[in-house]
Amino acid sequence: MTRRTILLASPRSFCAGVERAIEIVEQLLARRRSPVYVRKQIVHNTHVVADLESRGAVFVDELDEVPADATVVFSAHGVAPAVRAEAERRGLDVVDATCPLVTKVHAEARRYAGRGDTVVLIGHAGHEEVEGTMGEAPDRTVLVETVDDVAALEVEDAGRVSYLTQTTLAVDETAAVLDALRAKFGALRGPDSADICYATTNRQEALGALSDDADLVLVVGSDNSSNSRRLVELARRRGTPAYLIDDGSGLRPEWLDGVRVIGLTAGASAPPRLVDGVVAALAAFGPVDVVEREITRETVHFTLPVAVRSGAVRDRGCVGPGEFRVQSGRGSQG
């Protein structure tokens, strides 16, 4: 049997924003006897959603599916102000699991629009994060995805244009779109630091560091995970065959024909245990040597909302207050 080498990209799997969002739902479920509703998927991973559903979380598409006065969690991707207003109007008990890095982008959108700029958001149409960000200033925000979109873009005042980016984009492709914006709008303004989050950047760089040495790249993540899909695209742009799989059961034997070195990573919303499962699935096709390639170590994490840490969410059968922290070595770098 063919002996294969698995190159494990590091960092991989959960980021701090994902861990925080999942922990919020877990703590609420542990404290309450009545249902905890979550608007949209808390993070884009089928295994995470299924696990939380099995513990009692109820996932809904919109707030009209949530009973009056119930507890609802906003997902890590953020929501538009109109959604917050609707929740307040209906008297819902809101716990916000929006990633702090997404919250930063929302604040920038309000600031840029407030000073009279046209806000150009680089992102993917239909993604929940994009919908939430555009909802901050819908009359002053336009979405672009490609360089061609920039070429076709017309604004009222070319001297007052700012840009923002979705946090889970491919760094190299976003750079090309941003270059096109800067060439078209000489006075273009933007954030002091990149909006693409540290976890997305780190996972792309970690994969890039090994993809040239691999005959095949496997990315663990769900199909609706933007950052996972960007990893697959990155490997393919570098000339390495790559596939997105939810778990080890998605592995196809024909992918391994003639393959001796496999690059393996996971998107920021994929649980680490799924990577272990893929390694085990690969080992079923022959002996494997696992080599981890770490480019950086993520150590800082995001704290939970005060209401969750203090037990201050409205009582629906709480077991009592307490202090909770996300304990992980896979948090943010800042």
Q: Please tell me whether 15 is known to bind a ligand.
A: yes
What pLDDT is recorded for position 91?
95
pLDDT mean over 105-122: 98
Q: pTM to 2 decimals?
A: 0.91
pLDDT mean over 20-45: 94
pLDDT band at 309 (very low <50, low <70, confident <90, very high): confident
Flag whether pLDDT at 209 surpasses 90: yes
8 A C-beta contact, residue 223 and residue 229: yes
From the options 3.20.20.10, 3.30.2270.10, 2.60.40.10, 3.40.1010.20, give the CATH code of 101-184. Answer: 3.40.1010.20
Residue 94: CA count within 13 A, CB half-sphere: 19
Catalytically annotated residues: 129
CATH code for 16-99+300-310? 3.40.50.11270
Better pLDDT: 332 or 216 = 216
Q: Please tell me whether 310 is known to bind a ligand.
A: no
115-165 confidence digits (pLDDT tens): 999 999 999 999 999 999 999 999 999 999 999 999 999 999 999 999 999
Query: Alpha-carbon distance 270 to 290, whole Å?
Result: 19
Q: Where are the CATH 3.40.50.11270 domain residues in the chain?
A: 16-99+300-310
Residue 147: CA count within 13 A, CB half-sphere: 9
Q: Please tell me whether 99 is known to bind a ligand.
A: yes
Flag whether pLDDT at 269 surpasses 80: yes
What pLDDT is recorded for position 314?
54
Q: What average pLDDT does the chain have?
A: 92
Alpha-carbon separation of residue 72 from 28, 31, 313 (angstroms): 10, 14, 11
From the options 3.40.190.290, 3.50.50.60, 3.40.1010.20, 3.30.70.330, give the CATH code of 4-14+197-294. Answer: 3.40.1010.20
Rounded to 5°, the CA angle 145-133-182 comes to 45
pLDDT band at 312 (very low <50, low <70, confident <90, very high): low
pLDDT mean over 40-65: 97
What pLDDT is recorded for position 323?
30
8 A C-beta contact, residue 145 and residue 123: yes
Instruction: Point out which residues pair with 94 in neighbouring strands.
Output: 72
Q: Which of 105, 57, 97 is nearest to 307 (CA)?
A: 97
8 A C-beta contact, residue 227 and residue 267: yes
What pLDDT is recorded for position 152?
98
What pLDDT is recorded for position 17?
97
- The contacts of residue 234 (CB under 8 Å, 6+ apart) are 170, 172, 204, 207, 208, 211
pLDDT mean over 32-52: 95
Better pLDDT: 182 or 319 = 182
pLDDT band at 321 (very low <50, low <70, confident <90, very high): very low
8 A C-beta contact, residue 119 and residue 137: yes
CA 304 to mean position of chain CA atoms: 17
Q: Please tell me whether 197 is known to bind a ligand.
A: yes
Q: Where are the CATH 3.40.1010.20 domain residues in the chain?
A: 4-14+197-294, 101-184
Flag whether pLDDT at 221 surpasses 90: yes
